[in-house]
Amino acid sequence: MKPNRGLLLVTSLICALTLSAQSMRTTDKGVYISLKPMDIECRFFGPDVVQILKTPVNRPSIRKSLTITQLPQRPDIQTKETSAYFQIQTSGLQLIVDKTTGTITFNNKEGKRLINERPNTTLVSLNDYTTDTTFQVRQAFVLAKDEAIYGLGQHQNGKLNLRNQRIRLRQDNMKICIPYFLSNKGYALYWDNYSPTVFADNVNETQFDSEVGECVDYYVMTGPDLPTVAARMRTLTGKAPLPPLWSLGFFQSKERYRTQEEPVEVVKRYRDLKIPLDVVIQDWQYWGNDSNWNAMRFDNPAFNQPQAMIDQVHAQNARMLISVWASFGPKTLQYAEMKPKGMLLDIDTWPRNQGVMPYDPFNPAARDIYWKHLNENIFALGMDGWWLDSTEPDHFNMGQKEYNQNCHLGTFRGYCNAFPLMTTGGVYDHQRAVTTDKRVVILTRSAFAGQQRYGTFVWSGDVTSSWENLANQIPAALNLSLCGIPYWNSDIGGFFSNRYFRGGVNNKTFHELYVRWMQFAAFTPMMRSHGTDTPREIYQFGQPGDWSFDAQARMLKLRYRLLPYLYATAWQVTNQDASFMRPLIFDYPDDKALLNLTDQYLFGSSLMVAPVLNAQYVKAADNTYTETFDQPGSRQVYLPANSRWIDFWTGETLEGGQTVTKATPIDLIPLYVKAGSIIPWGPDVQYATEKNWKTLEIRIYPGADGQFTLYEDENDSYNYEKGAHSTITFNWNEATRTLTLSHREGKFKSMQKKRHFNIVLVQPSSNPADAGATSIAQAITYKGKTKTVVL
């Protein structure tokens, strides 16, 4: 459909025109303001969240958001009109709408400015690739000069604070695009648009400029602190379901296991070595050749007994994920069924020149077909989870023809960035409809706003193995986390190793990078080894007694000891919309030294992680390697102010607000525990559910009052949504040196009614570090009633 150029005169740069016929009225959703030729609708989602819709006059928005799940909730509103502006006040926000320009200023409830639109920058305009019902849409804002902002998805640019950046938001491998940012001033802004969008920040303005949209449509959220503000995004777009306990264990993968015997053998080798492992992943081409791409069938003769393969993995108390793509080869049944119905997209995708085409996930019937084959051919065999690869999808040579083709909801240009949301949502919703006994686990390469509600673990894509890329993973993960996407991971060691580390596991410099990357991965929501060019299983790096093997084993065992802490944190993510990984500024907003700190972060409520991000021990020259372990390396670590910090490895208490130098032997990652923390320490296990938690070590890190809630349930299934879970809250009083265990709340079938807790007071003279404690302050028996212990 060609644009109606007459309408262009009405809609181009509508705020630059003289506004007239000014009126304001309240509605069941908020406030409606007419400033001809523009209408402004302010819809409230409680007192702290407002949606702004700016449309050409008498063209109200009828679009249903793909991301927003919350319904409007109008709070108590007070309005005021003067000759110059309209004022809208709730208990959490104040809006000032200028009558002359339509510019909106957002203030907190006390009237202090948070952010404002820049005058005369609202654009709702037709262009060469919009239709009569869509427009190019743009809005610019004015931020404080000293303001820091975070979010926008995941970008491999090494930056945490995204001021003074220009980024084209279009999904791609290693690049996740979410038009949202959170400010250290105490608010967040979400631009609800799915088309290619330019985010640009400079000294004059901060703008979102989208190629296609129905209208200007964005949300402003505020709250008393940054964690609360960040949680608003999940309130708007959906809660993150609780992952199964096993998904917090270790995943082993490679590109690729070539026979059905290989993944079974990998699990066996780990079990023989007594190295913890929960999941093995089967990558692509189990379906056969490229014309049969993603057939969702085991048509490769090397996988002619898939049921036996899965059963043998399960018999060793491990789980399995499998690679599934968002595109289909021309010889597949899916292609044959979808092509005649217009359910495939004409996009040059991977593998190239093979006739492979992505499907249209915006079409519910296409999602039904997708799941039908996945369920009948793979899920029915007992597969435990999904590796949904290329959910951007992979695209090459995208031009006007490719962008302007129709998908189910409109032009692909108008919806392309939401492709991963719809693809993962289709799998999640269908699996939930089939069974509630197995929680959905989806590993995927891309994400969009709201995707946390679909049980996804997002990984950072096919990053190259390098120290620079290892460092870049930290701000990439943190910015994605602040967009409401809590579960993230990366390929340990990087995906492509041969560019900088020829020889792979035979290259000792790669060993050092891999060890440091694994240490970092131990403190990410998913811990997963994967890559091409060289195998990554622990036994490829040597044997017990070799430094690389031992350093990896130490981190894997530490990860499993922390499972009670990790599972409790996952419950906080689900129950309280908390964040797993977060920048230090998130919890310490007054410490300006943290605004741009890219190499440290918080993992859960208690642990501060400072990965080693440079080579310290191995040098290469002419295919020979020099190892210098007799000269310990170190790194500097900043301890945030207004807290004391305990060195996890030594038990030493340090004051915040200073930079310390921490020795970094090859098998150690700098870890600091916030004073007042309580951390449960789990048993030594080979897989997550090997032993129950009847007996746990409870570590108290003194120096401040503290609280921790231990969460337990059946470890899988969705019965927790029906109340089948329990919590025990531990409260530490620093002044009286008392630990109080609350009355246990809730119950579930396999709950341990009688518990044994070994209480450990961490201090230098008796610090257990990553070993079991040898000095126990008190050993107590707990039967679900309130109990107080004096230490």
* Residues labelled as active-site residues: 389, 392, 462
User: With the CA atoms of 465, 468, 469 and 474 taken in that order, what torsion angle do they form, in degrees rounded to the nearest 10?
Assistant: 140
How far is residue 768's CA from residue 765's CA, in Å, rounded to a whole number?
A: 9
Q: Assign 3-class secondary structure to 455-509.
A: CEEEECCCCECCHHHHHHHHHHHHHHHCCCCCCEECCECCCECCCCCCCHHHCHH
Beta strand residue intervals within 497-600, DSSP E: 527-529, 581-582
Residue 344 per-residue DSSP state: B
Contact 714, 274 (CB under 8 A): no
Query: Torsions phi, psi of 106, nearest 5?
Result: -105, 120
Number of C-beta neighbours around residue 375 at 10 A: 17
How far is residue 340's CA from residue 40's CA, in Å, rounded to a whole number?
A: 43
Which of 68, 34, 26, 36 minimizes the C-alpha distance to 51?
68
How far is residue 756's CA from residue 739's CA, in Å, rounded to a whole number?
A: 15
Please tell me whether residue 56 adopts helix, strand or coil conformation: strand
Residue 73 per-residue DSSP state: B
Which of 684, 674, 667, 604 minimizes the C-alpha distance to 633?
667
How far is residue 624's CA from residue 240's CA, in Å, rounded to a whole number?
A: 48
> Is 667 exposed, middle or buried, given 0-12, 13-18 or 19+ CB atoms closer than 10 A?
middle
439: its two tokens: 């929680």
Query: Torsions phi, psi of 84, nearest 5?
Result: -105, -25
How far is residue 651's CA from residue 474's CA, in Å, rounded to a whole number?
A: 26
How far is residue 607's CA from residue 731's CA, in Å, rounded to a whole number?
A: 18
In terms of DSSP bridges, do strands 319-324 and 385-388 run parallel, antiparallel, or are they unpaired?
parallel
How far is residue 3's CA from residue 282's CA, in Å, rounded to a whole number?
A: 48
Non-local (6+) Cβ contacts of 660 within 8 A are 636, 637, 639, 654
H or E element at residue 625? strand 624-627
511: its two tokens: 């060993």
Which of 434, 440, 486, 528 minimizes the C-alpha distance to 716?
440
Please tell me whether residue 229 adopts helix, strand or coil conformation: helix
Non-local (6+) Cβ contacts of 88 within 8 A are 30, 31, 42, 77, 78, 79, 94, 95, 97
469: its two tokens: 């890329």
> Is 622 exposed, middle or buried, given 0-12, 13-18 or 19+ CB atoms closer than 10 A?
exposed
In terms of DSSP bridges, do strands 279-282 and 250-252 run parallel, antiparallel, or are they unpaired?
parallel
How far is residue 714's CA from residue 164's CA, in Å, rounded to a whole number?
A: 48
Concatenated DSSP letters of 349-365:
-SSTTTT-EEB-TTSHH
How far is residue 18's CA from residue 24's CA, in Å, rounded to a whole number?
A: 17
Contact 604, 566 (CB under 8 A): yes
Please identify which residue in the block is written with the tokens 């509605």: 27
Contact 598, 160 (CB under 8 A): yes
How far is residue 222's CA from residue 110's CA, in Å, rounded to a whole number?
A: 12
H or E element at residue 573? helix 563-576
